[in-house]
Structure 1
Amino acid sequence: MQTFEERRRDPFFTENAYQEHRKGTESMFTDPHFAESREQIKEAAKDLTSARRCSFHRVMCFIEDAWMRYSAGEPLESLRDHVKYAFDDLQRHNEAFPDHTFKLWEPDAYYYTMMLTSWTVLFNLPECLNILVEHISRDPEDGEDSFIHAVFSALGIQDFPGKEAGLLHEDPYGILFASLDGSREEQQNAMRKYLKCWYRSESIKGCYWRERHSFNPAVHLGYWAFETGMLTVLNGLDDSGYRERGFYPRDLVDYCREQGWHKDMAERLTVVRGK
């Protein structure tokens, strides 16, 4: 049997963090302030603002739970169920608090949009994409982005704004966006460049979870550029030149391909293009 250190996918992830995360998530099922039912949350909270905060905290805990489980090396077959549950909980939140949305100008909101979109592809959950899209603000003041537009368009969301917009977070996402109209070789080269600079980029520096491994390892979630896995699958790239680089979710890409989901997507989707 593998030890935790042998099984984990993120080298900074600790068994203590794994156990603490799981205990915290499991407590959501018994605390009335964080119940699955949003009506129950509203009854337990002192006001709607508090209820909304508790509701979204619950969503975030289940997203972080799936993120953490990937870092810990859990089997991907069971992890898919946890991802699906996180999306279901986001839908419950959307229905209860439709005015609460991701604003793409925020680095964390943009990262979460990329991560969750990638999960709908790599775990073959296309029905969950609309749940995410409903949680993203379409107010131009909250940010429009041509990369997000291009990805959503390829995945069948044709009416999402941003086609004529620039990039909200040029560093690092501009590397991938600029490569989308290139050859497969050019895109593969861009992946290597992107993975090399991803963690040090300006947008990732603005995310709340960055550097946790050094100052608070007990709440470290893992460091993953899930969008590289998504684009590798969607555009049929050979990842042999970058699959061993840090931050690349190679196990998830391999799992997606082993299930044959990449072939299903190739039949119903276009490759991601920047223009």
Structure 2
Amino acid sequence: MSSFIEQRRDPLLSEPFFLEQIEDYKESSYFDPSWWAKINDPLHERWSDPHRRPTRSMASESMFMDNLEHAILLYSGGASHEDIKVCLSIVKKELLRHKKEFPDEQFYYWEQDAYQYLLWMFSLSILYGQDEMLPELVRYISKNPEGDDDPLWSMLLARLGYPGLPRGPESYTPEVYRPLFDAIKGDGVNPTRVERQASIKQYLKGWYKGCKECYWYDRHKAKHAIYFGYWAFEAALVTLLYELDDSSYRDMRYYPKDLVDYARANGVAEKWQALRVAQHPIAMPGSVVEQDGNWRCNLTDEQWQLRKGQRLPSQTHVNKDDMLFWIQE
């Protein structure tokens, strides 16, 4: 048995495809000066097709999204946690740079690719202790312009110290993510820990099949080296946040068991105990703030220093589809 087969975490990843992608990464756009020239040139805004998204925005976005895929590839191939953290630090740097350059960029979580990307980014950043990017990740989450939001996101953000995203009914959560929602809903008594654990097990059973609409689905069958691994990192995040016993599901496919072990060994569970989490409320435009503080807008660079009893700015949208909210820093 080769050393790669022994070290890899994803049994579907072959050594030739892994090594080919490692070499491709070294020649990727991240290291291409001409790609960075597009990003840094405000005059280079669009492709020849005026209906395409701005060139700079697409090129800039790819710098952190491609690096996130590379970090997952490293995990799948059995790289050390320290090497993966180095790659995630690049993701963090590029994510922060992109949001600063394009503050109105966001992930529309009602699109499944965006939903899963957000779950991956939140999970990996916390589990690897790179949670400095959390404030920016929250600013990337879209606000439903037609009403309340997915309760999974509302509850998960509240658990991470960002309460206030308007919570819609359970039916707003896509079916594939419903067991994950069941694992985080309720209070410290109900559901019980055993029930939460059962929900995670159910989630892992249906996760991959439920991701058919994602661009990476079935990539392990491709003839080219484009497969970076299948992982429900969010199952690990919930296991850690809710202090679950993963013995009933730790050997299931898609569950990154050694990442949970790594996070626990490095004090992440203690850091994220519910009573220790700093609070950064989310509020809607025009809201009266309940305490003194600095507030930052999700889709603009605006920041307001307000006293208790004052109101946030009343502007609700940057356009008909993109709604504003504010986060207390």
* Closer, same or farther: CA 242–195 of 1 in aligned 2, 3 Å: same
* TM-score (ref. length: structure 2): 0.74
Q: Partner letter of residue 193 of structure 1?
A: Q
| 3-state SS of paired residue (1:104) | coil
In structure 2, distance between residues paired with 1:116 and 1:17: 24
Q: Residues 119 and 234 of structure 2 are in contact (CA less than 8 Å); yes or no, is this contact kept in structure 1?
A: yes
1:226 aligns with 2:230: no
Q: Partner letter of residue 227 of structure 1?
A: E
Q: Residues 183 and 199 of structure 2 are in contact (CA less than 8 Å); yes or no, is this contact kept in structure 1?
A: yes
Query: Match of 2:251?
Result: 244
Q: Residues 226 and 249 of structure 1 are in contact (CA less than 8 Å); yes or no, is this contact kept in structure 2?
A: yes
Residues 93-119 of structure 1: per-residue CA shift (max 9 Å, x gap): 111122221101100000011111111
Residues 199-241 of structure 1: per-residue CA shift (max 9 Å, x gap): 112xx11100010001345101111111110000001011111
Corresponding residue to 1:83 among 65, 68, 88: 88
Larger deviation, residues 50-59 vs 139-148: 139-148
| 3-state SS of paired residue (2:252) | coil
Query: Match of 1:49?
Result: 54
In structure 2, distance between residues paired with 1:137 and 1:122: 23
Q: Residues 232 and 254 of structure 2 are in contact (CA less than 8 Å); yes or no, is this contact kept in structure 1?
A: yes
Query: Match of 1:11?
Result: 11
Q: Partner letter of residue 257 of structure 1?
A: R
1:108 aligns with 2:113: yes
Corresponding residue to 1:71 among 61, 70, 76: 76
1:259 aligns with 2:260: no
Mind listing any 5+ residue stretches in structure 2 that lack a counterpart?
48-52, 279-329
Residues 30-64 of structure 1: per-residue CA shift (max 9 Å, x gap): 31243399425x46776681111111122211111
TM alignment of 1:1-275, pairs within 5 A: 3-27=3-27, 28-35=29-36, 38-39=39-40, 42=42, 49-141=54-146, 144-159=149-164, 161-180=165-184, 181=186, 182-201=191-210, 204-216=211-223, 218-266=225-273, 268-269=276-277
Q: Residues 69 and 228 of structure 2 are in contact (CA less than 8 Å); yes or no, is this contact kept in structure 1?
A: yes
Query: Match of 2:294?
Result: none
Larger deviation, residues 81-90 vs 239-248: 81-90
How big is the shift at 1:193?
1.3
How big is the shift at 1:87?
1.8
In structure 2, distance between residues paired with 1:185 and 1:46: 52
Mind listing any 5+ residue stretches in structure 1 that lack a counterpart?
271-275
- Bigger Rg over Cα: 2
Q: Residues 148 and 162 of structure 1 are in contact (CA less than 8 Å); yes or no, is this contact kept in structure 2?
A: no
State the identity %. Answer: 33
Q: Partner letter of residue 94 of structure 1?
A: K
Number of residue pairs aligned between Structure 1 and Structure 2: 266
How big is the shift at 1:29?
4.2
In structure 2, distance between residues paired with 1:137 and 1:262: 28
* Closer, same or farther: CA 148–216 of 1 in aligned 2, 3 Å: farther
Of Structure 1 and Structure 2, the greater helix share is in: 1
| 3-state SS of paired residue (2:195) | helix
Of Structure 1 and Structure 2, the greater strand share is in: 2
* TM-score (ref. length: structure 1): 0.88
How big is the shift at 1:130?
1.3
In structure 1, distance between residues paired with 2:24 and 2:96: 21
In structure 2, distance between residues paired with 1:19 and 1:108: 26
* Closer, same or farther: CA 216–135 of 1 in aligned 2, 3 Å: farther
* Closer, same or farther: CA 216–171 of 1 in aligned 2, 3 Å: farther
